[in-house]
Structure 1
Amino acid sequence: MNRWHPVAASAALALAFASPSFALAEEGVATLEIGTKQTLADRLAVILNSEKTIIGDSVDDAKASQFALDLFGSQAEMAELEASAPGVMAELIDKLMPIINHSLRVRLPELQRRQSALYAETFDEADLAFLIRFYESSTGRKLIALTMDNLQTQNMAKSAKQSDDLMITSDAVLADLRSTARAITPQFDESDKPMLIELGRSSVAPKLQAMATRTQQIALDWQNEHLPGEEEEIMALMESIISRRLEATE
């Protein structure tokens, strides 16, 4: 089962400077604290791929569950199953969500490690220090929160439905992130301008754009992996629920 939520974790990293309305104001002055590149990359990876960002809370589960329902409901076999046992899809997803969240939580350090390696490859120490300062600012935290809360999923859903195994492409993720960036732009105010302008005019801006596809692909590959025995646990649970539901209709 695919979840859209983890792929949004680096949304702000890829698209933070997408607001054209901030492009003409005066440039701010950055104050950078330089550290070792790997230490800084590790810190940035934790900020952008935190448990809150990747797994979220009950509200995020509700969004992910609805997304999954929409995807599975588009499959003829699953639609037939739902028609035979109304409510079975919602029960399946509700029971599977704790397993998925546990897997994401246990595997989270691996995602952070992979993203950190990309950050260290892409940015120098000054870039990383700047990005950390940005994302630890009130504007940076606001950007991440708004992106997660307002994430568009139309292209991801379309991509998954066109795939035989419901896989989402990085291009679809980026298309939805661009739509999200446009949608949240009006929610930034004058107090956010200095940091957004500084980011938009910094040397990291073209590097962010250049790495956008790779950082999303890393997240997609990671979210489609499993803990040992996880797939078997999911299949057993699904078979049990489906069998019980179908027996109840006979």
Structure 2
Amino acid sequence: MRGIQLLRHTCAALALALVPLSSFAAAGPAAAEAGEAPDAAYADLYSAMQESVDQEQMADSALQALARQFAATPEFAGAEARSPGLIAEVTAGLRPIFVAQSKRVRQLYRPATLALFARHLTAAEAGSIAAFYRSDIGRKLMGGLARNYSPDATLSNLAEDGPVTREQVEADISQATGAALSALTPEDMTTLGEMAMANPALLKISLIGKGVQELRVQMENEPLTAEEDAAVVAVIEDVFNRRFGAQ
């Protein structure tokens, strides 16, 4: 079913801790060089980014966007018309699979994220940026980004099972970043400016942007495992069978 393909391509949306300086998202594919242990400072920076994002909120936003895409497909739209609430029941059933898959993908892509940090930042710079994400203004900015993030552009052409593109990823991040920034007070903006002047390491985040965007696209296209795919099919079939009877 097309709905399964929608889920396969968008599950990785939860795996990202979006970083609101430039259009930066913490992601990364597979592993760094075999046997290379990442410096603790880069691992701590990664943790600081993850800590500053409400993953439950991200899950809700992603699943709401998925439900909208289900409603746009003939199969689900027709079923919803015959049995109102079907799409909500399907997405609720998919939630634990979605969350577990996202955790798996975060771990899969974590080593290359740390390697990317190491290529662009010293350990001291990584520590300074981690402190920013744990600051009140850093958490406020990240919280606003998480509240405003919705992968609608990422999902927009997935009914045809096309791959997620960089342009789609950029559109969703840009929309959320703009909304988060617009919610800041003049005092917040002054604080950010002062922090950037006092801590040049923060300005280096923009150097990582291109590499991180590419990793993000790969995460969005990470397929489900056979077990995850079977679980998705089972949820959808169960809802349809209970509502309409086994065909």
TM-score category, normalised to shorter length: 0.7 to 0.9
Aligned counterparts of 2:238 and 2:214: Cα–Cα separation in 1: 33
Task: Kindly indicate whether residue 42 of structure 2 is the aligned counterpart of residue 48 of structure 1.
Answer: no
CA contact (8 A) 1:53 1:148 kept: yes
Which residue among 9, 26, 39 is the counterpart of 2:17?
A: 9
User: Residue deviations 1:183-231, cap 9 Å, x none?
Assistant: 33342442663444433782553x4334324324434433534355111
Q: How do 1:102-113 and structure 2 match up within 5 A?
A: 102-113=100-111
- The question of whether the paired residues in 2 share the 8 Å contact of 1:170 and 1:217 is answered with yes
Asked whether 1:175 is paired with 2:175, we answer: no
| Alignment partner, residue 87 of structure 2 | 89
Tell me, yes or no, if structure 1 residue 241 matches structure 2 residue 236.
no
**Partner amino acid, structure 1, of 2:53:** T
Q: Does 1:157 align with 2:152?
A: yes
Structure 2 vs 1, CA of residues 215 and 49 (structure 1 numbering), >3 Å: closer, same or farther? Answer: farther
Contact 1:159 1:169 in 2 (8 A): yes
* Pair 198,84 (structure 1): closer, same or farther in 2 beyond 3 Å: same
What 5-or-longer segments of structure 1 have no aligned partner?
A: 17-35
Code of the aligned partner of 1:176: D
In structure 1, the partner of 2:184 is 187
Instruction: Note the aligned Cα RMSD (angstroms).
Output: 3.2
Contact 2:43 2:114 in 1 (8 A): yes
Determine whether 1:140 maps to 2:138: yes
Which 4+ residue blocks in structure 1 deviate beyond 4 angstroms?
Answer: none
TM-score norm. by structure 1 comes to 0.73
SS state at 2:224 partner:
coil
Alignment partner of 2:84: what SS? coil
Larger radius of gyration: 1
In the alignment, which residue of structure 2 is the partner of 1:26?
A: none
Cα gap change, 1:118 to 1:10, in 2 (>3 Å): farther
Of residues 58, 77, 91, the one that matches 2:75 is 77
Distance verdict in 2 for CA 1:109–1:245, change over 3 Å: same
Contact 1:159–1:167 (CA<8 Å) still a contact in 2? no
For normalisation by structure 2, the TM-score amounts to 0.74
- For these two proteins, the number of residue pairs brought into alignment is 223
Shift in alpha-carbon separation, 1:165–1:247, aligned structure 2, 3 A: same
